[in-house]
Amino acid sequence: MADEKDTPPGTLNFEARRLQAMASNHRELKAYVDYITQHLQDNERLFARLFTLEAELLSAADPEDVCLALLRGLRSNFELDMVRLWFDRESFVGQYPFHGLSSQDLVWVEKNEIAEVGLAHQAVWLVQLAKGEHFVWLEKQDERLKSMALLLLGPLDRPYGVIGLGSLDATRFDPEQGTDFLQHLAQVCGLMLENTVSRERMARMMLKDRRSGAHNQRFFQPYSHQPLSQWFGRNIPVGCLSICVDEPVPSHPNVATLTHTITSLIRHQDIIIRHDEHDNFIIFLPGVRPLQDVDIAENIAEACRQLKHEEGATSISLSMGIALSSHDEDPSIAELLKRAEQAMQQAVEAGGDALICAAAPSSSAS
């Protein structure tokens, strides 16, 4: 072993400095690893919340449910001080009623207003609100907000909506930070909303008869076993009018014209349904007064007599049957319909162009 007296001067100082530098590098590396680990854990929690939100959006039944799930999920999972939707009333979402959303949740903006306030061609806008600064769409109760994220819904050149996220923390939505997560959130929310609106539109189309525009049988078949009260409310009398056109469809000027004539003589709350394969119509008349169902049926019959067949001048005649639920019974939809159709069949067998009222269950039993 070399004698310490033989060690060159300054060697011990160099070794000490080298060890100190290694220790310093180790501390910096550990701090960086801790930072990355914490960042990864934060991102993991963030995306777990996002996946939970996506699952709620996927399970939403209609566009309004999507919006409610979005508002609820963002508020509860992301600790935000403001969540609001701005929708263009001229876009496809403007055709859908959002009765469950308050004016604090959803605000309608006019056509092109999103672009006019400068929100276009960028998926996410991060805004810091200085004292006294006010974003044009904010309300008085939003004055305390210090930063916002504005997420565009739809194509960047023609967005149909904006999701607004607000925070009292000025650094929450710093314009210098990345927006990858927020862009993904905007894309997911936009696609979910578009898909549910499209699905809702397709469902309505499937429940409509293409020739006449009336509801078809699929409208109520899945629910025909349900009691009337489940559809129309308790203790509400419901009339059911079953209509059979006495001549086949080819002789009619237009099935849509016939349907329009019938529809023009019923109330807005009444439901008209057309059989797929026959010239039969069913009309449910909730809350009718005594003999009001008969008046409606007679008015329909008279109006249809004014319509002419394509070949010749013979008027269109109808065979009709009416059944009415009483206050002390709650039959199923199918049961009331069966009584109306039996009365209609009696009108057909009597030679047509007739109206027959079905006897009440208590009368037929006596």
The residue from 145, 178, 204 where one domain ends is: 204
Give DSSP secondary structure letters for 169-201: -TTTT-TTS--HHHHHHHHHHHHHHHHHHHHHH
The residue from 204, 227, 257 where one domain ends is: 204
Residues 319 and 221 reside in one and the same domain: yes
**289 occurs within a structural domain:** yes
Strands 215-216 and 271-274: parallel
Residues 186 and 234 reside in one and the same domain: no
Q: At 255, which CATH number? A: 3.30.70.270
Count of domains forming the chain: 2
Q: Which domain holds residue 97?
A: 40-204
**35 occurs within a structural domain:** no
**339 occurs within a structural domain:** yes
Give the pLDDT of the chain (366 residues) as one tens digit per residue.
445 555 555 555 777 777 777 777 777 776 666 656 665 555 566 666 767 777 777 777 788 888 888 888 888 888 899 999 999 988 888 877 788 888 889 999 998 899 999 998 999 999 998 765 678 899 888 989 999 999 999 889 889 999 999 999 999 899 988 888 889 889 888 888 888 876 665 455 444 555 555 666 666 666 678 888 877 777 788 999 999 988 765 545 467 788 888 888 988 778 888 875 557 888 999 888 889 999 999 999 999 888 865 555 567 889 999 999 987 788 998 899 999 999 999 999 999 999 999 987 754 443
Claim: this prediction has a pTM higher than 0.75 = no
Beta strands in the chain (DSSP E): 82-88, 106-109, 124-128, 147-153, 161-167, 215-216, 238-245, 271-274, 280-286, 318-324, 354-357
